[in-house]
Structures are given as structure tokens and as C-alpha cells.
Amino acid sequence: MANLDDLYKEIILDHYKNPRNKGELETPPAIKSQGYNPFCGDEVTVYLDVEDDIIKDIKIESSGCSISQSSASMMTQAVKGSKIDEAEDKIYQFKAMMDLHEQNIDRDTDEEENNLLKKNNLGELEALKGVVKFPTRIKCATLPWNTLIEAIRQENDND
């Protein structure tokens, strides 16, 4: 288990040091959405370029802790090139992972967790599940995802 924790730490650190899809997109055509986590001071700006219900491009400008920034970086990889409804599934699954761990934090639910994660197939994003041991950090991890939800909502309003 210690090895897995180390691996997770490595993944988070790698995304923090080398954030994927960092930068800005021209608005319009891209949608811009900003999020802020007052508990930690994290700031995330999501630029979303959607064409024919597909996320053609996504870029992130962010500042803050390693959890929020690595979560943002992993999120861009998870949703870039997918259909909007696939991206919404990923968002739901990620937030469910955070909720699941929050609820079951004091119980031995390895089997249940493994089944859910297997079904979800969140890949590298599973590295972030360790943060639920630190409830204040959950808001760091979910900030980019909530900001993406807002961007998708704006996109839907435009149609």
C-alpha cells in the first residue's frame, strides 16, 4: 500500500511540475470560466473550445497548491477530445470518487472501492483519491472540475 501511495504522490507531483494543457485560448470562440477556492487560495481559469459537442481543446491557467493544479492538469487530459456527455460522465465519476471516500473514510471498504474504481476507470485520476483523508483538500481537488461544469453550462446556454 505504501508503494501505491508513493506512486500517487509521484503522479501528482509530475502534473504539478509539468502541467498539461497549460495556457489560454482565444475567447470567443472559446468559453472562459473562473473558479476560486477561498479555503486554500487556489485559482483556476478554464478555457473550453467546443465544436459539434466535442471538446476540441481545453486550456488551464491556475495558481495554488499542488492538489488543485495537478487535478486541473489531469482533468484536461481526461476530457480533451471527448464528447460533452462523456466529459460530464467523467466529472460525475470523479466527484463520486471523492464522495465515496469521504463517506467511507473510517471503514475498511477496499473491495467496494476497487469495484467502483474499476467500473469508473479513472486512470491517473485515482492518484487524487488520497486527498479525501484531508477534507479541506477535497475542495482543492474538485475546484477545476466545478469550474469545468460552469464552462459547459455556459456552452450549453450559447446553443
Which residues of the shown chain bind Zn ion in the complex (CB under 5 A)? 40, 42, 64-65, 68, 140
Q: Which is nearer to Zn ion, 144 or 149 (CB)?
A: 144
Minimum distance, C-beta of residue 65 to Zn ion, in the bound complex (Å): 3
Q: Which is nearer to Zn ion, 55 or 131 (CB)?
A: 131
Number of helices (H), then strands (E), belonging to the chain: the values are: 5, 3
Q: Prior bond to 29 cis, omega within 30?
A: yes
Q: In this structure, what C-alpha cell is assigned to residue 105?
A: 473514510
Minimum distance, C-beta of residue 139 to Zn ion, in the bound complex (Å): 7
Minimum distance, C-beta of residue 120 to Zn ion, in the bound complex (Å): 23
Q: Which is nearer to Zn ion, 73 or 120 (CB)?
A: 73
Largest CA distance in the chain: 48
Minimum distance, C-beta of residue 87 to Zn ion, in the bound complex (Å): 23
Question: With 0-12 CB in 10 A as exposed, 13-18 as middle and 19+ as buried, what is 72?
Answer: buried
